[in-house]
């Protein structure tokens, strides 16, 4: 039995693996895909599938800040518990937004002056780390907060860290019928390139669990990450 949650990387991407429509925060699939004829017709399927994911969700302050949580009105409480990795993108309003929305809200930060330290809410928990170490944070999520399964919806750079730390157990991607391109446009896994073929081998391979053709030329692909011996 693992001492951390079972994790699933759940993302929407283009056929060429892009998770954004451009290289800056001005571009965003949630804003741009509804405007794109031939893509918008099937977009609802991604959000419907998202509603069936785990009751614990991992994301980043950067992604959520980009989605406007620092200005949005406080939402109603949901049964979902949120885990955010953030040092500088959430304001105090953004923290309170997730306190209002979450069953349990866990913030992982290396910033001792993060606005979350000014917030007192019964469902807010702060995991302070002098340097980010997600393996340790995930162990604490399970041992201290009872998180058994966790859906990962972070950005390309953090996805790279999760992959390098062998913290992805399953991959669940919903593929939009579009090609975006662009060297600087974020893909599913970002970060630095692999240094060697040996490093590639250590990351493991994907075993296809399911391939579903959705409506309007959308596809859902589900994989299990098969880790090599010694990287469990």
- pLDDT value, residue 141: 97
- pLDDT value, residue 209: 97
Residue 232 resides in a domain: no
- pLDDT value, residue 172: 98
* Domain residue limits at 92: 6-226
pLDDT digits (tens, 9 = 90+) for 179-199: 999 999 999 998 877 767 777
- CATH code of residue 161: 3.40.430.10
Segments of the chain scoring below 50 in pLDDT? none
Residue 12 resides in a domain: yes
Is the distance from CB of 171 to CB of 9 less than 8 angstroms? yes
Containing 158, the helix (H) or strand (E) segment is helix 156-164
Gap between the Cα atoms of 168 and 41, Å rounded: 30
Q: What is the pTM of this model?
A: 0.92
Residue 231 resides in a domain: no
- pLDDT value, residue 227: 74
* Count: domains in the chain: 1
């Amino acid at each position: 039995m693992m001492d951390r949650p079972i994790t699933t990387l759940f993302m929407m991407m283009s056929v060429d693996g892009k998770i954004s429509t451009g290289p800056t925060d001005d571009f965003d699939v949630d804003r741009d895909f509804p405007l794109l004829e031939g893509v918008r017709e099937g977009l609802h399927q991604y959000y419907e599938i998202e509603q069936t994911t785990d009751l614990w969700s991992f994301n980043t302050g950067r992604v959520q800040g980009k989605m406007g949580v620092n200005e949005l009105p406080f939402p109603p409480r949901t049964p979902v518990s949120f885990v955010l990795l953030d040092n500088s993108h959430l304001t105090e309003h953004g923290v309170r937004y997730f306190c209002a929305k979450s069953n349990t809200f866990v913030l992982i930060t290396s910033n001792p002056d993060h606005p979350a330290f000014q917030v007192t809410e019964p469902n807010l928990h702060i995991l302070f780390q002098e340097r980010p170490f997600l393996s340790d944070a995930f162990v604490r999520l399970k041992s201290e907060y009872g998180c058994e399964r966790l859906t990962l919806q972070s950005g390309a750079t953090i996805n790279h860290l999760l992959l390098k730390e062998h913290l992805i157990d399953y991959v669940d991607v919903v593929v939009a019928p579009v090609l975006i391109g662009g060297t600087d446009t974020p893909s599913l896994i970002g970060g630095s390139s692999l240094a060697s073929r040996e490093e590639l081998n250590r990351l493991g391979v994907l075993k296809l669990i399911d391939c579903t053709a959705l409506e309007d030329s959308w596809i859902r692909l589900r994989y299990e990450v098969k880790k090599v011996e010694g990287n469990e």
